[in-house]
Amino acid sequence: MLKTYTNPVYDYVRSSDQSGEAITHHPVIIVGAGPCGLAAALDFAQQGVNTIVLDDNNTVSVGSRAICFAKRTLEIVDRYGCAAPMVAKGITWQKGKVFFKQDQIYDFDLLPQSGHKQPAFINLQQYYFEEYMVNRAAELPAIDLRWQHRVSHVDAQAEQTLITVETADGPYQMSCDYLLVADGANSKIRDLLGLESKGQVFQDRFLIADVVMKPDFPTERWFWFDPPFHPNQSVLLHAQADDVWRIDFQLGWDADPEEEKKEENIRPRIEAMLGKEVEFELEWASVYTFQCRKMDNYIKNRVIFMGDAAHQVSPFGARGANGGLQSVENLAWKITRILRKDAPQALLETYNTERQHGAEENILNSTRATDFITPKNAISRVFRDETLRLAEHYAFARSLVNSGRLSLPCDYQSSAIISADNFSAGIKPGYVCQDAPIAINGKADWLLSQLGNRFVLLINSDDSPPELLQNLNEIATDLDILELTTSKIGDNTLHDCQGLVAERYQLEPGQSYLIRPDQYVAARFQQTTVGDVSTALHKALGFELNEGK
């Protein structure tokens, strides 16, 4: 049915590990070349760790699937070097309308803060998102991406993992220090290991219809509650690249998925919605139910689950792929440092704790949206409908209208490796850094492009004695000192050309931020000293955790 996109076909290639002699060993093997598996390979490549990615298929996503990518995700993939083609191809949007029955009740504009490299959101079909990551991976010798290599057996030993891989040339075995599993919501490897993802199945069905059309309405997010053309249910309309529009019809639990998927049944629904005069072609359709669930522990010995295999949410609020990538970037730097022996094994567990927290937040938000869209009983329906009626005239009620809270990165404030403090200004430890325009070596650039992949101490070095900067530099090879100045402009110092770093970070002379390789604030210092920075770095690497001592 796809007319605007042809899936690339990636050939099976025999690898040198298939010689049939000794079992070869690798530091990191990743299962699944979806958004999370590919992101993991790209993240490790940025940090100098070689990976093998195994995928049982020979192409990217079939069908558009995840379409909404949030700013944080774009910042992450920008660090990998592949945000530009995504933003160029995707639809950047910030406006939307909400309808109830026959009326538009309000419109909104996300009014994203200016002075950020990445837009608030783009809509882009998942196959493009994956294809651009595959293209980027091909440029990086650290990534060995193997299509049509299917993992059939996993032996999760205490300190390494042995896997069997099936190919057209027969099976072969490999061992690895870490096996990262991103083989999707119905993870076969999770089943192989007898592990479970538990939660709630929602008793509802949704029809996704991607249609190709050139209508005269703007590229906004339109959401209908109980519209006349689809009574008692909700409908979402959202633009994607190539003049493809995503239409999402809530169907109810009693709908027959096979019947609903048929073009002759989809067409009348769309005609009722858009009017008979609008010309469109049906691009792709799918009927889905959804679940909010997660594993109690993402780690089994040295096998680590990521993405939908680890935690799954309903699509409202775009927290599946976006949440998945936040898990990936949380994990990659930790394993890198454990492999380098710069961090204790105990650091790995903080992936589980920090991202359990992330998944809980995503599941909570997505469950609330689902409950608003599909009220669970008569009185919930009354509250929902009255909220919508009030929203037409009163701003407060708009804040309660929930058709999906848009994905924001969660914070790790209470994490054991974050040095919390009591200052209210700036960006608190446990929160992700905000972007801002800067100049470096006389050229305009972005703050986030200077951060990540290693620890950074961002310091306002106005009035800082040179000895202090010298001594800070010697704390660790994994720690770069990044000077932000207003007065002197030397090599590799950041110039806060629009004053937005000062505004967002409240960074006074002598103050500094310790920033993790995933661009989260680990600690900050009112008065920067070598001792305090060393202690916070030690803590961020997990040396103060129980088994880390």
Partner 1 sequence: MSKQNLITDNNFDNGDAFYAELTEAHRDINSQQSERLNARLVLLLANHIGAGTVLSEAIKIASDVTTEASPSIQKSAE
Q: What is the DSSP letter of 338?
A: H
41 to 28, 44, 88, 340: CA distances (angstroms): 9, 5, 23, 17
Residue number with CB closer to partner 1 (385 or 445): 385
Which of 41, 46, 38, 120 minimizes the C-alpha distance to 518? Answer: 46
- Minimum distance from CB of 323 to partner 1 (Å)? 25
Segment near partner 1 (CB under 8 A); pick from 131-139, 278-286, 393-401, 508-516: 393-401
257 to 105, 286, 352: CA distances (angstroms): 31, 8, 36
Residue type, 45: A
Residue number with CB closer to partner 1 (20 or 396): 396
Torsion from C-alpha of 237, 206, 112, 363, nearest 10 degrees:
170
- Minimum distance from CB of 178 to partner 1 (Å)? 41
- Minimum distance from CB of 394 to partner 1 (Å)? 8
- Minimum distance from CB of 361 to partner 1 (Å)? 17
The reply to whether 169 sits near partner 1 by the rule CB under 8 A is: no
Q: Which residues pair with 104 in a beta bridge?
A: 99
Residues 36-95 that bind partner 1 (CB under 8 A): none
| Residues whose CB falls within 8 Å of the CB of residue 1, separated by 6 or more in sequence, listed in order | 282, 283, 284, 285
Residue number with CB closer to partner 1 (402 or 449): 402
User: Of these, 400, 420, 425, 444, which contacts partner 1 (CB under 8 A)?
Assistant: 400
- Minimum distance from CB of 233 to partner 1 (Å)? 20
| Residues whose CB falls within 8 Å of the CB of residue 36, separated by 6 or more in sequence, listed in order | 182, 306, 307, 308, 321, 324, 325, 327, 328
Separation CA 408–CA 516 (nearest Å): 18
- Minimum distance from CB of 383 to partner 1 (Å)? 5
Residues 331-390 that bind partner 1 (CB under 8 A): 379, 382-383, 385-387, 389-390
- Minimum distance from CB of 380 to partner 1 (Å)? 10
Q: Is 438 helix (H, G, I), strand (E, B) or coil?
A: strand
Residue number with CB closer to partner 1 (267 or 381): 381
- Buried (b) or exposed (e) across 209-223, using 16+ Cβ within 10 A? bbbbeeeeeeebbbb
User: Of these, 299, 397, 416, 530, which contacts partner 1 (CB under 8 A)?
Assistant: 397
Q: What is the DSSP letter of 300?
A: E
442 to 114, 171, 491, 493, 494: CA distances (angstroms): 22, 55, 9, 10, 9
Residue number with CB closer to partner 1 (202 or 372): 372
Q: How many CB atoms lie within 10 A of CB 198?
A: 9
Instruction: Please name the helix (run of DSSP H) or strand (run of DSSP E) that holds residue 43, with its range, or none.
Output: helix 35-46
Segment near partner 1 (CB under 8 A); pick from 101-109, 139-147, 395-403, 427-435: 395-403
- Minimum distance from CB of 106 to partner 1 (Å)? 16
Residue number with CB closer to partner 1 (339 or 390): 390
- Buried (b) or exposed (e) across 97-122, using 16+ Cβ within 10 A? bbbbeeeebbeeeeeeeebbbbbbbb
Segment near partner 1 (CB under 8 A); pick from 96-104, 309-317, 332-340, 394-402: 394-402
Separation CA 129–CA 134 (nearest Å): 9
Residue number with CB closer to partner 1 (385 or 503): 385
Residue number with CB closer to partner 1 (23 or 400): 400
Separation CA 418–CA 515 (nearest Å): 10
Residue number with CB closer to partner 1 (3 or 393): 393
Instruction: Please name the helix (run of DSSP H) or strand (run of DSSP E) that holds residue 106, with its range, or none.
Output: strand 103-109
Residues 450-509 that bind partner 1 (CB under 8 A): none
Segment near partner 1 (CB under 8 A); pick from 146-154, 352-360, 396-404, 540-548: 396-404
Could you tell me the two tokens for 310? Answer: 């680890």
Which of 118, 114, 75, 121 minimizes the C-alpha distance to 500? Answer: 114
Residue type, 54: L
- Minimum distance from CB of 384 to partner 1 (Å)? 9
- Minimum distance from CB of 378 to partner 1 (Å)? 8
Stretch 2-41: interaction string toward partner 1, x if CB under 8 A = ----------------------------------------
- Minimum distance from CB of 389 to partner 1 (Å)? 7
Residue number with CB closer to partner 1 (393 or 488): 393
Sign of CA dihedral 360, 366, 369, 371: negative
- Minimum distance from CB of 396 to partner 1 (Å)? 4
Residue number with CB closer to partner 1 (22 or 379): 379
The reply to whether 103 sits near partner 1 by the rule CB under 8 A is: no
Residue number with CB closer to partner 1 (176 or 391): 391
The reply to whether 396 sits near partner 1 by the rule CB under 8 A is: yes
Residue number with CB closer to partner 1 (253 or 394): 394
- Minimum distance from CB of 386 to partner 1 (Å)? 4
| Number of residues forming the site for partner 1 (CB under 8 A) | 12
Residue number with CB closer to partner 1 (23 or 382): 382
**Distance in angstroms between the alpha carbons of the first and the last residue of the chain:** 58
Residue type, 107: D
Phi, then psi, of 413 in degrees rounded to 5: -50, -40
Question: Which residues contact partner 1 (rule: CB under 8 A)?
Answer: 379, 382-383, 385-387, 389-390, 394, 396-397, 400
